[in-house]
Structure 1
């Protein structure tokens, strides 16, 4: 029998093709896992990679992931050809469980949903997106978190071509990765943001407790699949715990009790006597083809009746936290493909172990939250004063850590000044300071930027700690602990707690004092930030109206900067014949004209309450109704355009005397846009994105010298206040159909804009 291409069905060509496809799938899955490990907090990067690989391998035109938000599913990531209107509708629309949409049907059925042709599916009702994208065949795969359908993975094709069982299975694998990525990012974010979001940490932990990974089950599954898919006779996962190495998963024909008794909880040296020792020594995947023929291998000779072994390290950063081990009774080497698959399984096990570690660390942080809640309340209540916070820290540290007294010091040039004090031990006298030097415990801990814990200060060497010896004789304390206050890698102060008797502080007390030190640094930074914002607000008032400066530095302003949608009116204007002028004139002349032009137009923008998005040579973009609302913003934009044209005519007369022939054109459009912060860390602009911006720019490009072109919606909004003339339908770049346009001839007497 022959295949459609003329080759023999099931022949070498088909086998090679299937092998190539299999390798491509495995490589894609492994690449995504690598991203998950290297960037666990960058969820968008992982999801985009998942969508890209799934769509590419399954021949889909579009792919998307939708996550549960409350009781509905919202688009979290999208891949496909650019289509702004489709993406806008997709991101703005939420789907609830139900039969009328693919996402809702998948969530309702809690299973894979495959629609061969949406036009032939009577229940499918999401016609808006279908018309915009033109898709026909759809596939939905549920993303589970515990028993909850936490999301839906969607692939679509623009032709009626159902997905194969192999493609559906591959999408399931990508969906599993997406679930892990979402959960991993949530757990990681909960940990890394714990310090500055402690007020919300209890709720985060409550959610985490409902979906904590069952690590034993995950590791058993990893070992089981590794043994099955790599044709091994048995396998294990060894994990490094506080009390040594333990076997946490065993699969196959082995005796776990005997193995754990002879192998587990034993120290393992990084040497060649055992497989795990070789993995620790080489820090990479290590294989033994035939243990009986390997003279260096003897540690497992009496435990395992096996010949071939392979060990893959489970890593967290540069540390090895476990080893995935597979064994074969016969001496049969593992293939490169099997080794690659094992390393993928090891990545999965590493992620699971790391998730549990992160969860446990966060849980412990919650247990310590009770001791720090009072400090947080003081910080929240004293955003402009650091002294109440430091006084509260001194009192709380003494009480919670069982100290006789607490001193808080700050660095002032080359001395230490007492900042706060609590307890019966006398502090420094008024005006007294300590040298910032290594001659005192507190000075050395600040300079070295690490805690110093001393069991008995009476044993201090006077030659090494002359200042602390004097203070100990003066105040009589014994056990002492000093912790630095570090900001941006620099010691800015320190906290010292003491006990009158010899009683060392516990590791938990040391950790808690370091937490107090971190809170003190936060309080200091908060006060400095408040002072900086106050200075910046004063600086902004030099360039913006006081209302705008107040808004930008307010809480509402911060929300606006993050991104929002609002109807605005956009004005684009630029000079006609400017390119020819710039080519023939001297650079100084060009800059002089631009400065005069920008200064004049800038005054009119401020006067009419417009927001200047940017200057671009002789062009500029202005929009109205954001960030401050403007009543009848369409009319206000038209009035500004007429004022600009009048002022330009005055400028042009002067330029004409110098031989500069320049014109001025304006395009105005109104509609919804997305506005917010655009740019990168260290350089941001406040801008608008949407079709309304493109339309205004295209109208400006079509406007002749002295002409003000309006879109149809602007014309409808101002026709009672302005004289206009229809110029017909214009064919504009980027628009599939001609666009009606109107030329504004005059406008009624302007009145001040109200906002």
Structure 2
């Protein structure tokens, strides 16, 4: 046999190996098409790894950015894995991440825990994307003599490098889907709170939503008084009329007390013959206690970490509905967009004032808008215009609320705020003027940022007026908005329109209300539509 024969055979062998590698990668490419379905995709690639490397068991774990823990993405275990050895699997995964490289054990005799679970050999590797570890893949019980040898490791590394970015994409896609679902849940519970005023009807609606979203047979909300006594267990009507509640109320009570003692969400399996799985989360306010829970998952694999997030979302929206009276709920619903958390807290703690009633009140109204924005917006792409407006509204809203003002509305490139309502206080004109001064300072910083980004120069004009106005929630049953109507608001808007960039323009009423605590100079008189007499206006010089 000549040297050329050996070379040809080696070339042939190398070609066959390359052909096999290409075939393996081609199969992985086909699996990438299912990447938007994380569970299906992970199961597909895990089966492919196991087929190529000829092993019996496998697990993929992904790092959850919210819980900061490793969660099992998929497992092919032939019924061998359970809660006990999942702890072992996660321990191995954590060791793999700590070492940052492939871990291979081809003889587990010295590892008693693995022997106990019939694990003969194993391979555990970090899954990296752009040098960041995003998960771990584990393969167990190779059928090959000697376990996972160098040729297997070569193929493993080749396959992993081919799909690491797709795993990250699939993981991100799943996270986006989960976040969308959480937001949808928050919206649905918030909508129930806003539309249902009767407490018992609201509880039934929330329970119905809980069981539907979490695919559970039973949902419950257990209520306790400040002494820790069980007051009631809210369950769907069909459960209350069955024997389930009667026979399981003590079990549910014990679960709730364990959850509250634990201080956080708990998920588990088998409480008794009638309760095969559960998730429960505690909530409290001023000593009162509630526990939200679902029992008996309708899914084959039981409740999941995703279900935990959904129950947390439900509880975070529904707990206040349980603890607060309906007037407070309505105040929160109507005013949450307009006032700061501090003002909201003051309103909720004030039991004497009816904030839901429309009334006449002495207030100061502030209007502000951007000079030259309309002309600029015609020259910029729409997305840039929207970005600038969002930045403007964000900065102005923060300034108004920091000064305990009430945000009334956004109008094109302008904003309206009210001082002295819904909570009345002396000196509301001075506070409005100080707020305007802070708004001009904040706008200057925003202006400098925009200029550094190559955007045109624009400026802010502000008008302020004080007087008696009608304040309250105006609208219809479909939509109510808290606002101020009357001549006070109209005049403030007119003052804003005559203000040039950087100016704060006051009416006589606002200057007088400020009571000499500011520096301002008269700009003379202007005509105001609808008014017989001319109006004297003043420019703020210093605050």
Normalised to the residue count of structure 2, the TM-score between the two structures is 0.40
Indicate the structure whose relative CO is greater, using CA pairs within 8 Å and at least 6 residues apart.
Answer: 2
The higher radius of gyration belongs to 1
Normalised to the residue count of structure 1, the TM-score between the two structures is 0.30
